[in-house]
Amino acid sequence: MAVLRRQSFSGLASRVPAAYTARMWKRKRYQFFTNVTYRTCRTCLSEHGRIANRSDAFLQCDNDCERHVVPFFRSELAYRRRLQKEMFASSKGELERRRLFNSGIAALGGDNEQALNLLTASARHDLYIPEVERLIAAKEGVLRADSDLRRRLLAVFARAYSDKFGWYRYERLPEPMRIARETEGLRRLREMFE
Ligand SMILES: [Zn+2]
């Protein structure tokens, strides 16, 4: 079996000039990375994970989104494409999170059950404290008048925030830092809905 494989490889090499093959495999590709958060602009979300032949092929944006263009060799292409699939999914998830969260804000004060469903669904994607602050600013009157609604919203957000720190990407944080962030976030949430 080993002999056969060696034969077929040498057969291929004899048909393709060695220098050309080496150049092909060494040719660099580039992959675009941003940090997907509630602030990432739509341009960067749509570029996140994209692979190009040139480092300057990616769309610019006017925001201060984090941008990294990572060079890699063609031999890594399969791995990079797997990564790309996850990154596209993460951008799509963030857009869906925003849609659900904004629809939830809009429904608050009208159909509160629907609002709670939408906000719960949104928080399954991710939850950001500044987004909750935005919700409170938009619906201050509704929330002030309804302590039961505040209690239910706090339950939804506090649970989602705790879950968030169990997710894969936060597992890379050192334990004391993770606990400190979680505790601080939960404290802030309770303060907002008191
Ligand atoms: Zn951007």
Distance of CA 38 from the midpoint of ligand 1 (Å): 11
Report the distance separating Cα 109 and Cα 144, nearest Å: 11
Distance set, CA 119 to CA 91, 97, 115, 165 (Å): 19, 9, 6, 18
- Residue 91 Cα, ligand 1 centroid: separation in angstroms? 12
Cα of 66 from ligand 1 centre, angstroms: 7
Q: What pLDDT does 155 receive?
A: 97
Q: What is the distance in A from the centroid of ligand 1 to the CA of 40?
A: 6
Q: Tell me the C-alpha distance between 31 and 21, whole Å.
A: 22
User: In the Cβ-directed half-sphere of 131, how many Cα atoms lie within 13 Å?
Assistant: 22
Is the model more confident about 7 or about 166? 166
Q: Ligand 1: distance of its center to the CA of 18 in Å?
A: 42
User: Which stretches of the chain are DSSP H helices?
Assistant: 2-15, 18-26, 42-47, 77-107, 112-125, 129-138, 140-144, 147-164, 175-193
Any idea which residue has 């939408």 for tokens?
118
pLDDT digits (tens, 9 = 90+) for 132-160: 999 999 999 999 999 999 999 999 999 99
Q: Is the pLDDT of residue 49 over 90?
A: yes
Could you give the dihedral angle defined by the CA atoms of residues 9, 10, 11 and 14, in that order, rounded to the nearest 10 degrees? Answer: 130
Distance 126 CA to ligand 1 centre (A): 19
What is the whole-number distance in angstroms between the Cα of residue 49 and the centre of ligand 1? Answer: 13
Measured from the Cβ of residue 176, the count of other Cβ atoms closer than 10 Å reads 8
CA 158 / ligand 1 centre spacing (Å): 29
- Across 54-67, average pLDDT: 93
What's the 137 CA to ligand 1 centre distance in angstroms?
25
In angstroms, what is the span from residue 117 Cα to ligand 1's centroid? 30
User: Which band of pLDDT confidence, cut at 50, 70 and 90, is reported for residue 174?
Assistant: confident
Q: What pTM does this model have?
A: 0.82
